[in-house]
Amino acid sequence: MTSEAVLWTRRIRVVLGVSILIISITLLIWGLLPPRREVRTQPISPAELQLPAPDSFLPAGQLYSVF
């Protein structure tokens, strides 16, 4: 290779390396930024807040003991 070709490949490598470094630092800073705050409101009706009846916890055959 001629000295001119070596200079061009070296320049290309330096430009590529600096570009990758700048992109990496930019992504690092962006990743360290705190997430934006977000509040979501979901209405819940009072019927959805009631507990199920105790009878529904047991299978149908075990509601009453035979003893």
pLDDT of residue 14: 95
Reply yes or no on whether the pLDDT at 1 is more than 90.
Answer: no
Q: What whole-number distance in Å separates Cα of residue 15 and Cα of residue 4?
A: 17
User: What's the gap between Cα 4 and its chain centre?
Assistant: 49
Interval 31-42: pLDDT, tens: 999 888 889 998
Q: Which amino acid is at 10?
A: R
> Using the 8-state DSSP alphabet, how is residue 45 labeled?
-
Q: What is the mean pLDDT of residues 40-56?
A: 80
* pLDDT tens-digit readout, 13-31: 999 999 999 999 999 999 9
**Residue partners of 1: CB distance under 8 A and separation at least 6:** 9
